[in-house]
Amino acid sequence: MTSKACFIIIVLTVLTLAETKCPVECACQLVFHRKTVTCNEGGMTEIPTNSMDRDTQVLTVTSPPDNPNFLTIGRIFLEFPYLEEIHLTNSHVPAIGDSSFWPGKRMKILDLSYNNITLLHDQDFNGLSNLEVLDLSNNEIISTPSAPFRFLSNLRSLSLANNHFQRLVPRFFYMLKKMDKLDISGNPLKELDPENLKDLRPLRILRLAGCELRSLHSLVYQNLPNIHELDLRNNNFFFLAPEEFRHLKNLRILRLDGNYLKEIREKTFGGHSLEVLGLSRNNIIKLLPCSFCNTSVKYLDLSYNRLSSLTADVLTMVSNSLDTLNLGFNPLDIYTVFSIVSVLHRLQNLSLAGMDIDKLLPHTFEKNPELRYLNLSHNNIPEIPNEFLQPLVRVEVIDLSYNKLQELTFEVLFSMNNTPSLQLFLLHSNRWSCLECNVSPLQEYFNQSDLYEKICGGQDDCLKCVTPPELARRGLMSVQREELELCAMPLPQSHVGVNASKIGTIIAVVVIVILVLVIASAIMIYKRQSADYYTHEQERVENAAYDNIAIVDKNGGLQMNKVQESTSSSGTNCEGSRTKQTVNSIT
């Protein structure tokens, strides 16, 4: 297109806009070649159709909370045959009205959400035979007549979410033969009659979140064979039957978060290839060995449950399909986590947040080379092992915020800076120690690389000092060298803040070993001396006994052995008297 032609088009557009009518409280413009009227300042009591062009195609009326609209509708669009979309929201509309959008032959989208509509009437949607999207969410609707949408034969998407339906009348969805998406979440239905849904066989997306449901009859599933996405979040399901969803052959997205499930029975999801399986915010204590047998899952959310044990065999069943796993806020220890992730070779996204993990094993993720996103936030991790990043060759985001990190070693900094795929390494809200030996090397390293950008994601002072108290809440990079407190002892240049507690532990272990060896040696020497003393004492006693024997002289008298005499003469008086008593007794 030549510049001359462009100029002509611009001139014609300007002239067209100059000739159009536009309400003073609204803005009028061409959006994707369609005449659009937007009124969003609020304070309106009527829709300004008298000041709008007859060929308006899109009308949007809404209001801010501090300046609400109070509008009614009625048959005010009779002179607007070109309307394709009406968005009338946040305007306290009390009712729709008989044939209010007549003729409506070109209407594709009607949004009446966030109003005060309480009832639907038989002729409310008369004339809207080509309507494809109807949004009545966040109103006060309590009841409707039978088949209230029978004029909407081309309707594809209907939202009745967050109203006050306690039941659905028979043939509620009559004539909706092209319905693809239905949202009735947030209504206190408590149960769902299979008859209510038998007119919706083409339905692919069904949202029933927050409807106080305890179960769904199997006929509900049988009547909806084309369901692709089923949302059952925030209901009152306490258990699921084995092969509960066997009739939903096309099911790909299943959300059961926020229920009261305690266990997942065997083959519950058997035969399904699920893209998303949400089981978070339940009371799940255990997964049975065959919970995922004959199942494939790409995204599995088990967060906020009560899993204290989980064997790797359970998830081995989905190891060839699983690429995203959320185990956050379960009381699983790091060794259990290690055994689980070691079998998930295709894992790309992993969340282990809020699990009270108090250490990282250096090679925890060595069998997960495809890992891109790793969330370890809200734990009690005190340090990052030097080898931690080595197996994570494709990682892009690591979140270690809200832990107990006080320092970083040079090796970890070097690994972070030399991991090409790493884009973000979140470390804020840790217990950073701002001593001179910790901060100075960090500042120097950050000033010489773009690592600080990876750690803070463009936020200033995301790393804040916790100790010493006089520097608390100061940004680590904003602290001047002269403000820093010196460390108690010099640290090697190859580390940023060497952990003094490790050195103390090593010294204590060495001292204990030396003490044990000394005590053991003393015991051995004592036992050996005791043994020698006992042996010589026994020999002495035996020799003394033989030496005390009396000898008969030639005259028939008794005389002492010479050895005994020698012993007696050299002994104490007591020993001498004892010897004399012995001789007298023999005599």
What is 247-294 written as a DSSP string?
T-TT--EEE-TTS---EE-TTTTTT-EEEEEE--SS---EE-TTTTTT
Averaged pLDDT for residues 267-292:
94
Q: 266-270, 307-311, 314-318, 448-452: which has the minimum mean pLDDT?
A: 448-452
Say whether 317 sits in a helix, a strand or coil. Answer: coil
> Quick one: pLDDT band at residue 230, thresholds 50, 70, 90?
very high
Q: What is the pLDDT of residue 569?
A: 40
> Quick one: pLDDT band at residue 70, thresholds 50, 70, 90?
very high
Stronger pLDDT, 305 or 489, i.e. the higher one? 305
> Quick one: pLDDT band at residue 170, thresholds 50, 70, 90?
confident
CA distance 47 to 252: 43
CA atoms within 13 A on the CB side of 24: 1
% of the chain residues with pLDDT over 70: 82
CA distance 411 to 386: 6
> Quick one: pLDDT band at residue 580, thresholds 50, 70, 90?
very low
Whether the per-residue pLDDT at 160 is higher than 80: the answer is yes
Q: What is the pLDDT of residue 283?
A: 96
CA distance 567 to 477: 91
Say whether 130 sits in a helix, a strand or coil. Answer: coil
Q: What is the pLDDT of residue 555?
A: 41
Instruction: Please report how the helices 573-586 and 562-570 are oriented relative to each other, as an axis angle in degrees rounded to 10.
Output: 150
CA distance 108 to 250: 28
CA atoms within 13 A on the CB side of 379: 28
Model confidence over 246-271: pLDDT tens digits? Answer: 999 999 999 999 999 999 999 899 89
Averaged pLDDT for residues 553-559:
41
Whether the per-residue pLDDT at 531 is higher than 90: the answer is no
> Quick one: pLDDT band at residue 502, thresholds 50, 70, 90?
low
- Binning the chain into helix, strand and coil, the percentages to the nearest 5 are 25, 15, 60
* Mean of pLDDT over the chain: 84
Model confidence over 464-486: pLDDT tens digits? Answer: 999 889 888 888 888 888 888 88
Evaluate the CA torsion angle 315, 318, 324, 326 in order and state its sign.
Answer: negative
Q: What is the pLDDT of residue 2?
A: 58
The per-residue DSSP string of 500-535 comes to HHHHHHHHHHHHHHHHHHHHHHHHHHHHHHHHHHHH
Residues in a beta bridge with 34: 31
> Quick one: pLDDT band at residue 505, thresholds 50, 70, 90?
low
Q: 476, 474, 481: which is closest to 451 by C-alpha?
A: 476
Q: 11-20, 444-453, 564-573: which has the minimum mean pLDDT?
A: 564-573
Say whether 546 sits in a helix, a strand or coil. Answer: helix
CA distance 441 to 487: 13
Q: What is the pLDDT of residue 20?
A: 75
% of the chain residues with pLDDT over 90: 60
Q: What is the pLDDT of residue 542?
A: 45
CA distances for 331 relative to 309, 383, 462, angstroms: 8, 20, 29
Q: What is the pLDDT of residue 448?
A: 81
Q: What is the pLDDT of residue 337?
A: 92
Distance of CA 487 to the CA centre of its chain: 37
Q: What is the pLDDT of residue 533?
A: 43
Model confidence over 375-434: pLDDT tens digits? Answer: 999 999 999 998 899 999 999 999 999 999 998 888 898 888 888 999 999 999 999 988
CB 77 within 8 Å of CB 100: yes
CA distances for 187 relative to 212, 250, 530, 544, angstroms: 8, 26, 90, 109
Bridging pattern class, strands 109-111 and 133-135: parallel
Model confidence over 173-212: pLDDT tens digits? Answer: 999 999 999 999 999 999 999 988 989 999 999 999 999 9
Which residues, 6+ apart, have CB-to-CB distance to 524 below 8 Å?
none
Instruction: Please report how the helices 500-547 and 562-570 are oriented relative to each other, as an axis angle in degrees rounded to 10.
Output: 130
CA distance 344 to 314: 11
Whether the per-residue pLDDT at 577 is higher than 60: the answer is no
CA distance 388 to 382: 13
Q: Tokens for 206? A: 């069904």
Whether the per-residue pLDDT at 537 is higher than 80: the answer is no
Which residues, 6+ apart, have CB-to-CB distance to 501 below 8 Å?
none
